[in-house]
Amino acid sequence: MRYLLLAFTFLFSITGFAQDSVEEATTKAVKGFLYGASINSPKAHDRFWAKELTYTSSSGERFGKEHLMSGLEGAEPKDPEDVKVWYGAEDIEVKQFGDTVVFNFTLTAEEEGKVTQYYYNTGVLIERDGRWQAVNWNATKVPE
């Protein structure tokens, strides 16, 4: 009986650990991407967005990765010292469904140490080639 109890305890701790590690990994991926977006890194965008991406912008436009990447052609990442707007994530909620994650958060845009804009963002992420990528993304500007 004692061994059975230890086995169940171990099994539940592994399950909890796996959930925590997915939350940590997806949060790290999104925050890493937001850093890359802040410095306008085409490489960060290319790495984060899946080729099957459907992006719905806060202005109501819907487009794919190819269109999104076309806006970054020829762009060079900014020196972090020259960045005017830093993007961040607050109120993160991760919902795992098998090998798919729904990632909800409030995106912040910070200028001169003050948050000036908020957007509700929802991404559907899949793990591919050892990294989390967004296959679907929706952004909605939070009303003032």
- pLDDT, one tens digit per residue, over 31-69 is 999 999 999 999 999 999 999 999 999 999 999 999 999
Q: Tens-of-pLDDT digits for all 144 residues of the chain? A: 444 333 344 444 444 445 569 999 999 999 999 999 999 999 999 999 999 999 999 999 999 999 999 999 999 999 999 999 999 999 999 999 999 999 999 999 999 999 999 999 999 999 998 899 999 999 999 988
Report the CATH number at residue 30: 3.10.450.50
Whole-model pTM: value is 0.83
Written as six digits, the tokens of 8 are 């169940």
Q: CA geometry: angle at 121 spanning 20 and 116, to 5°?
A: 115
Strands 62-63 and 49-56: what pairing?
antiparallel
Rounded CA Rg of the chain: 18
CA gap 58, 60 in Å, rounded: 5
* Domain carrying residue 74: 2-141
What is the C-alpha end-to-end distance of the chain, expressed in Å?
59
Number of separate domains in the chain = 1
